[in-house]
Amino acid sequence: MYFGPIPNSPYSIADLTFLVNSLIDTTINPCIIHYEGETLIMNKQTDFKTGPLAGKNYDRFEQAMPWYNEIEELLATTLAAKLRGIKDPQVLELGCGTGLTTEKIMKHVPNCHLVAIDSSRRMIIEARKRVRSKNITWMHTDATEYVCKAISNNYDAVVSAFMIHNLTPEQRRMLFKGICNVVRIRGGWFINADKYARNNEAKHLADLADQLLHFDVFNDDPAYRLKWTVHYLLDEKIRFTEKDQIDLLRNVDVLNHVTCRFTFRRRMEALFSARIITE
C-alpha cells in the first residue's frame, strides 16, 4: 500500500493509517483522534445523520468522485429495465440520503410506488426538498430494523446507494436476511451502488490510494477533507468486498435461489444486481 504523503496536505496516509489502526475501535463511538494539535471526532453512527457529513454537506462529496452521477444514473436505468412490464411496481430504497438516487429512480421509473428510508432526519429533510412526488413515502427509520420487522413480501425491488459498506459484517448479514424477507416470493431484485473492494488486494489498495488523493478538491476545508480521509480508512476495518456481497446473499438461510452480478466498476465503486426468489 502507498504510505507516502498526500500532495498539498499536512497529512500522510501512513500517519492516518497508524492512528486508525492503533487508536480506533470502530465498535466504540465516538472515536476521538488527536493529530498535530487538532481534535477530530469520528462517529460512524452519527456523522451522516447530524454531523458535518450530513445533509447538504454530503452532496459535496460528488466533487471527489467524478463518476458519482454516472453510477447513480446507471442504478436507476438498471432498475427501470428490471421492472419493465410490471404495473405500478413497489420499490424500497434503503438509505435515501439527500435524495440523489431517489430523484433518478423517479425519473426513470415514474410509475413506481417508492418507500424511501433513512436513519437521518436531516437527510430526509433535504431529500424531500429535492424530490416531490405523491408516489414517495418517506420514512425516518433504521433500514435493517425495517426490513427485519416487515410482515409481508411486498417489494418488486430493493435498492441502495453508498450505505451498506458502512455496516459491520454482522449488520450486513441481518440486513440481507431482511431484504430477502421483503421481496416478492415469486422473485424480486436487489440493486446496490456502493464501495466494493476488489477481491484482488493490490488492486483494491491502489484504488484506495487514488481515492484519497482525489480529496484534494477539499483543500479549501482541511477539516472536511480529514473527515472523509479518516472515514475511508475506518471503512478498511469493515471492508466490503465483491466476494462478501455474493456470499452474503447466497448464504442467507431463507434464500432458495439467487443470480447476481457486478455490471459496473470505477475504482472503489461498483454496481451490483441480484435476482432473488424465495419460494
243: left (phi over 0), alpha (psi -120 to 50) or beta: alpha
Q: Which domains does the chain have, with CATH numbers?
A: 13-43+202-238 (no CATH), 68-196+240-277 (3.40.50.150)
Q: Give mean pLDDT, residues 10-29.
A: 53
Tens of pLDDT, residue by residue over 165-204, are 999 999 999 999 999 989 998 889 999 999 999 999 888 8
Q: Report which DSSP code applies to 268.
A: T
What percent of the chain clears pLDDT 90, i.e. is strictly above it? Answer: 47
Confidence bin at 226 (pLDDT 50/70/90)? confident
pLDDT at 36 over 60: no
More confident residue, 56 or 147: 147
| Cα 153–chain centre separation | 23
Whether the model pTM is above 0.85: no
- Dist CA 63 CA 218 (whole Å): 8
